[in-house]
Amino acid sequence: MQFTAQQIAGLLQGQLEGNADTVITKLAKIEEGEPGAISFLANPLYTPYLYTTKASLVIINKDFVLTGPVSAALLRVESAENAFSTLLEMYNQVKLNKKGISKLAFISESATVGKDIYAGEFSFVGDNAWIGDNVKIYPQVYIGDNAVIGDNTTLFAGVKIYSETTIGKNCIIHSGTVLGSDGFRFNPENDNKKVAQIGNVVIEDDVEIGANCAIDRATLGSTILRKGVKFDNLIHIAHNVEIGENTYYAAAGVVAGSTKIGKNCMFSGQVGIVGHLQVADNTIITAQSGISKSITKPGGVYMGSPAFDANKYRKAYIHFRNLDGIVDRITALEKQNKVAAENKGT
């Protein structure tokens, strides 16, 4: 990447102060700035670094007032944080803009492949699979028979897509994730024989799934992640689960089979949810909580295991922390009553 300060000012629609011909070749944090780097200042705690940074260009808010000399060129914008995020996205698109099919990739003759795709070394596309335009298939990705991958979707190295899986447009699937593995279901009335899992996984548009996640195919029908769902790393979704639009799930979460989760929910790390439940829209679950019964009221906040209303949990936890003292007081009262009873008897 190589741009001038003036070019970046044009991209971000900012007001430049300093040398317009300054050449920028890298991005950096303001405290680690070096010549040729661009950085930004949004958090007031980092203000002192503006006057000491060696970065060549720093993005700041339009209304920021300088209190000393600055060696870097400055780019004033409405929001330094938003502008730098935009720049990061542009940089990432350039970095990941791979095209071409490696001679070491295998694509079935019966597969349909869109325009401008990238298929890295040892990637595999099975029979009758459908690959959209601008799809990025990194090395060692496996795409099974009859799978569908929508336009502009990226599958990073080592992703495994089982047969009949459908992935929408503009999705990102990170390394090590498996979509469409069998649901965990056995029949105890028939010598625990495996129950065939003949459904599939459906991932709608604009979904991002972190590294090393496992999303099981349905027994019948589909396991579904609706539009805009965002998963962190190490999440397991069991068969026939449905996750509503724009729901966020932090690392190491588990959802058991056939549970239905609503829209715009936010689950912190290590949240576990029992199977065959309903979770209402806009629900928030704090870290390490366990959901053992359905949540029917939208917009609630829950914590604990088993989880219940967060405000009630915090009050109950205060009493829990005081249990030792309460037990000591009860023990002392029992002793007093015993002594009083013995005295009365004599």
Helical ranges in 67-171 per DSSP H: 80-95
> Cβ distance 197 to 239 under 8 Å?
yes
Task: Name residue 304's amino acid.
Answer: G
Annotated active-site residue in 174, 236, 239, 276:
239
> Cβ distance 311 to 304 under 8 Å?
no
Instruction: Look at the alpha carbons of 300, 305, 306, 312 in this order and tell me if their dihedral is positive or negative.
Output: negative
∠319-320-321 over CA atoms, to 5°? 90
Helical ranges in 168-239 per DSSP H: none
**For every residue of 298-343, which 3-state class applies, written as one string?**
CCCEEEECCEEEHHHHHHHHHHHHCHHHHHHHHHHHHHHHHHHHHH
Q: Distance (Å, rounded) from C-alpha 259 to C-alpha 278?
A: 6
> Cβ distance 53 to 33 under 8 Å?
yes
> Cβ distance 243 to 229 under 8 Å?
yes
Strand, helix or coil at 10? helix
Residue 285 in tokens: 């679950």
Residue 241 in tokens: 């689960």
For 138, other C-beta atoms within 10 Å of its C-beta total: 20
Q: Distance (Å, rounded) from C-alpha 80 to C-alpha 78?
A: 7
Among candidates 283, 209, 278, which has minimal Cα distance to 250?
Answer: 209
236 assigned to active site: no
Residues belonging to the active site: 239
